[in-house]
Chain A
Amino acid sequence: MAVTTAASWSVEVVYRGIFQKRLANRISRGVVLGARKDGKVGTAFARYGDSPERNGIPSKNFAVVATDEVELEASLAKYEPENVDVSIVVDDTMCKGIESWAWYGIQPINKLVVPGGALVVTSDKEPDALLEHIKVKPYPYTLVVVPSPVHAGVFAPEGSASFAGLWVDNDDNTDFNCVAAVAKFAPQILTLESVLDIVRERTNESARVAAVQATYEQIKMRAVLPGEGSTVEYEEYTKPGWTQMREGIIVEAMKVGTRNPIYKKWSTRTRRPLVNFDTCIKCTQCWLQCPDECFEVTPEGTYEVVYEACIGCSVCAEVCPVPDCITMVNELSFENNDNLYPQYASDPDAYRELLTRHGIPLHPELIEKAKKTQPVHHQPAAVAGGED
């Protein structure tokens, strides 16, 4: 359809660094190349501050489409657009908010979405379920949900969205489906016909073209009213001026017994480890092998996860010698990042029920022996600086 007024549109792709790098690239380029078929011009770029990308750490890619070069120029020589018409999120756990390289503090996933814009999320969850995690906006926008592919990816447990990535390329149309979602919400950016043309050109497979068309029909669009969503507060961070910054490029060191207060890395994870405190044998391996220093000793000498710091790498689950003592479960099932040992301590049955709900066998036969093991570490005194 012809657009006679000069305009430009920005699309961002928010993705898990490295894992979804190829996917994100294809989506943003797909938007530009598809729009080109409709006679528009465009640019695609990754956010420089996210580079080098790190496994799992949220990163951004952008596509800007315009009716002409003059319109496009306003979006060039920038690190990122001020706001976007469409934000595409290719891992639904990021709906809880993200911190990536270039921002400070966890920010809402829909931070850049304009009034009347869209947040597109690849997910097998219902839009309402996702909205529980997505921050409220003071104006309306649309939540668009692209359904998960029929065959879930290798790293996509519990049927969550595709993880076409660096070493596993699921090649499951998620890229095309996301571009199709843009076409469905905003055909003025690019049309479905153009998207299907791109699929045809790239793959030469009519089955794929049909599949993308079919998914297009299944894409859900949910109008979100002002005030609908999560009311969780996000951090504000003000940057100091040159007269306040210390001379000699110096920042204060971290204090013993604390974690970096301005970088809470939890938004890097898709899954979190759940610990079965009943069967833990206090071998210390999870604590020892965690590259992010996420474990703390409990009063019983077992180890719990500090979820504010945990990035879901799953090394702990792999090294734990006790069956099902540490299990990775989908992050979206959890409301916040509170440590879970206090829950276990105050209501162990409720905690065991939580494990069971996630399909984790409790192994009652291992409990007695576990309870007899001796603690290795003791909780340090409240004052910072204690070695055990």
Chain B
Amino acid sequence: MAIATPEPQQLVDLSSIKTVKQVPYTEYFVSGHRTCQGCESALVMRYIAKAAGPRTVVLGSTGCMYVANTSYYTTPWVVPWMHTQLGSAGSAALGAAAGLKVLMRKGKLADEPINVIAFCGDGGGADMGLSAISAALTHAEYRFLIVLYDNESYANTDIQLSGSTPYGAVTTFSPSGKKRRLMHKRWKKNTPGALVAGHPDAAYIATADAAYGVDFMNKVRKGLASGGPSFIHVLDPCPKGWHYDPQYSHEMGKLAVETGVWSLWEMENHEVRLNGTTKQIAAGRFSRKPVREYLSKQGRFAHFAEEDYEYFQKRVDEQWSSWLIPGVVSFRLEAGTPLNL
């Protein structure tokens, strides 16, 4: 039922990880999952479980992190894990969190903070399941975290384009051929930007990148500690889908941020801040690397002509020069409009 003001939430003690040295050693997602060499999505799962700890239940929607991890009839998860449907990360998080809350309130279950985390890929989350995530983020009365791991394709079905696939990228639904060099001409939508702009009752929303593991793990903890509905959109390079040698998975993650293609930011307590290298780029202390340095290392852009690189660079430049908030809010504001800065 709708409540006018959120009830006081039971906060879980999830302290901030200040340096790499403070990353907990214990794994709650263990070896023995049928993921690709260099799979950064698996690394994301590992970080989620590590950051959240044992008083956690995880809901995993269909995708690589379902099929690869649990094939066949097995599991790498130490914490309880349940499958949910492709577009259901939002509804699963909501149902599990609401169920636990009401049982505790009625005295049918011991009252304690339980982390509810649901994950989805870019296909299941930003495409099919966006409405469910949006609805979930309006429920200030429940505490849960939704993590969208973005490998920029429907990867488990052998790489098809999604709404999060970058411009021009080759996938099995957008091959480069004699007649058409580029079949995918839609620009990647800004899902976290859309969510943060439109859900004032979301307690925490952030972007992250698998290459910045400590930052991501802190964001997982912040999301869970926020006491309400939270969402993290994490970019994770995919050697199978992006066509590069797995050994460069970490480097790809860094280049995405260093070229300004992907931005690291968070909204906490209704305040947006840029993080890490993204912040340094915005402050002029770090020069964005040319996007070519990132794109040319991936076979999915091997067919790019000069004009494609130029277009891509132009669009990324716009993210930094024209967007109201770089990487976050994708439009300008009419000159003279007052801003509450």
Instruction: Name A's B-contacting residues (CB within 8 A).
Output: 18, 49, 51-57, 101-102, 155, 166-167, 251, 253-265, 268-269, 283-285, 288-294, 297, 306, 308-309, 311-315, 317-319, 376-377, 380, 385-388
Q: Is B240 in the interface zone, CB < 8 Å from A?
A: yes
In the bound assembly, the distance between CA atoms of A289 and B39 in angstroms comes to 10
Known: A52-B155, A56-B36. 16 other contacts (CB 8 A): A52-B158, A166-B240, A167-B244, A251-B73, A253-B75, A256-B28, A260-B32, A284-B23, A288-B20, A291-B43, A292-B31, A293-B46, A294-B31, A312-B37, A315-B249, A376-B20
In the bound assembly, the distance between CA atoms of A49 and B306 in angstroms comes to 41
Picked from A54, A289, A315, A380, the residue with its CB within 8 Å of the CB of B240 is A54
- CB contacts (< 8 Å) of A56 on chain B: these are 36-37, 246
Q: Is B31 within 8 A of A293, CB to CB?
A: yes
Picked from B42, B74, B156, the residue with its CB within 8 Å of the CB of A262 is B74
Known contacts A293-B29, A306-B31; decide if A55 and B251 are in contact (CB<8 Å): no
In the bound assembly, the distance between CA atoms of A164 and B29 in angstroms comes to 33
In the bound assembly, the distance between CA atoms of A51 and B80 in angstroms comes to 26
Instruction: Name B's A-contacting residues (CB within 8 A).
Output: 20-21, 23-40, 42-43, 46, 54, 64, 67-68, 71-81, 155-158, 213, 239-240, 243-251, 299, 302
In the bound assembly, the distance between CA atoms of A49 and B246 in angstroms comes to 23
Q: Smallest CB-CB separation from B29: which chain A residue?
A: A293
Among A255, A285, A312, A318, which residue has the most Cβ atoms of chain B within 10 A? A318
Picked from A308, A318, A388, the residue with its CB within 8 Å of the CB of B247 is A318
Known contacts A253-B77, A255-B78, A256-B26; decide if A289 and B250 are in contact (CB<8 Å): yes
In the bound assembly, the distance between CA atoms of A293 and B78 in angstroms comes to 13
Q: Is B30 within 8 A of A291, CB to CB?
A: no
Q: What are 22 inter-chain pairs, A to B, with CB distance below 8 A?
A: A52-B157, A52-B158, A56-B37, A56-B246, A57-B36, A166-B240, A251-B73, A251-B75, A256-B54, A259-B32, A284-B23, A288-B213, A289-B250, A291-B38, A293-B29, A308-B31, A313-B38, A313-B246, A315-B249, A380-B26, A388-B24, A388-B25
Q: Is A259 within 8 A of B31, CB to CB?
A: yes
In the bound assembly, the distance between CA atoms of A155 and B38 in angstroms comes to 15
Q: Kindly list the 3 A-B residue pairs having the minimum CB-CB distance in the complex, ordered from nearest.
A: A260-B32, A314-B247, A167-B299
Name the distance in Å between A23's Cβ and chain B's nearest Cβ: 16
Picked from B25, B39, B64, the residue with its CB within 8 Å of the CB of A377 is B25
- CB contacts (< 8 Å) of B35 on chain A: these are 54, 291-292
In the bound assembly, the distance between CA atoms of A319 and B42 in angstroms comes to 17
Q: Is B245 within 8 A of A268, CB to CB?
A: no
Among B35, B80, B155, which residue has the most Cβ atoms of chain A within 10 A? B35
Name the distance in Å between A285's Cβ and chain B's nearest Cβ: 8
- CB contacts (< 8 Å) of B39 on chain A: these are 54-55, 291
- CB contacts (< 8 Å) of A285 on chain B: these are 20
Q: Is B240 within 8 A of A18, CB to CB?
A: yes
- CB contacts (< 8 Å) of B157 on chain A: these are 52
Picked from B46, B73, B248, the residue with its CB within 8 Å of the CB of A291 is B46
Name the distance in Å between A268's Cβ and chain B's nearest Cβ: 7
Q: Is A55 within 8 A of B33, CB to CB?
A: no
Q: Is A263 within 8 A of B246, CB to CB?
A: no
In the bound assembly, the distance between CA atoms of A387 and B13 in angstroms comes to 15
Q: Is A314 within 8 A of B246, CB to CB?
A: yes
Name the distance in Å between B135's Cβ and chain A's nearest Cβ: 27
In the bound assembly, the distance between CA atoms of A256 and B78 in angstroms comes to 6
Q: Smallest CB-CB separation from B302: which chain A residue?
A: A167
Q: Is A55 within 8 A of B25, CB to CB?
A: no
- CB contacts (< 8 Å) of B75 on chain A: these are 251, 253-254, 260
In the bound assembly, the distance between CA atoms of A262 and B73 in angstroms comes to 10
- CB contacts (< 8 Å) of A385 on chain B: these are 26
Q: Is B250 within 8 A of A254, CB to CB?
A: no
- CB contacts (< 8 Å) of A261 on chain B: these are 32
Q: Smallest CB-CB separation from A282: which chain B residue?
A: B21
- CB contacts (< 8 Å) of A319 on chain B: these are 250
Known contacts A54-B36, A253-B80; decide if A258 and B249 are in contact (CB<8 Å): no
In the bound assembly, the distance between CA atoms of A18 and B244 in angstroms comes to 11
Q: Is A387 within 8 A of B24, CB to CB?
A: yes
In the bound assembly, the distance between CA atoms of A319 and B33 in angstroms comes to 22
Q: Is A55 within 8 A of B240, CB to CB?
A: yes
Among B29, B31, B32, B39, which residue has the most Cβ atoms of chain A within 10 A? B31
Q: Smallest CB-CB separation from A100: which chain B residue?
A: B34
Name the distance in Å between A223's Cβ and chain B's nearest Cβ: 36
In the bound assembly, the distance between CA atoms of A385 and B53 in angstroms comes to 11
- CB contacts (< 8 Å) of A55 on chain B: these are 36-39, 239-240, 246
Q: Smallest CB-CB separation from B239: which chain A residue?
A: A55
Name the distance in Å between A375's Cβ and chain B's nearest Cβ: 10
- CB contacts (< 8 Å) of B81 on chain A: these are 253
- CB contacts (< 8 Å) of B33 on chain A: these are 260, 263, 265, 292
Q: Is B36 within 8 A of A265, CB to CB?
A: no
Name the distance in Å between A238's Cβ and chain B's nearest Cβ: 13
Known contacts A54-B36, A55-B38, A291-B43; decide if A263 and B26 are in contact (CB<8 Å): no
Q: Smallest CB-CB separation from A49: which chain B residue?
A: B72
Picked from B32, B73, B76, B213, the residue with its CB within 8 Å of the CB of A289 is B213
Q: Is A254 within 8 A of B46, CB to CB?
A: no
Q: Smallest CB-CB separation from B46: which chain A residue?
A: A293
Known contacts A289-B43, A297-B25, A317-B247; decide if A311 and B20 are in contact (CB<8 Å): no
Name the distance in Å between A255's Cβ and chain B's nearest Cβ: 7
- CB contacts (< 8 Å) of A317 on chain B: these are 247
- CB contacts (< 8 Å) of A315 on chain B: these are 38, 246-247, 249-250
- CB contacts (< 8 Å) of A18 on chain B: these are 36, 240
In the bound assembly, the distance between CA atoms of A264 and B156 in angstroms comes to 21
Name the distance in Å between A47's Cβ and chain B's nearest Cβ: 13
Picked from B26, B32, B40, B77, the residue with its CB within 8 Å of the CB of A309 is B32
Q: Smallest CB-CB separation from B211: which chain A residue?
A: A289
Name the distance in Å between B60's Cβ and chain A's nearest Cβ: 13
Known contacts A315-B249, A315-B250; decide if A387 and B30 are in contact (CB<8 Å): no
- CB contacts (< 8 Å) of B156 on chain A: these are 52
- CB contacts (< 8 Å) of A258 on chain B: these are 30
Q: Is B67 within 8 A of A254, CB to CB?
A: no
In the bound assembly, the distance between CA atoms of A155 and B239 in angstroms comes to 14
Q: Is B36 within 8 A of A387, CB to CB?
A: no
Q: Is B31 within 8 A of A318, CB to CB?
A: no
Name the distance in Å between B16's Cβ and chain A's nearest Cβ: 16
- CB contacts (< 8 Å) of B158 on chain A: these are 51-53
Q: Is A291 within 8 A of B42, CB to CB?
A: yes
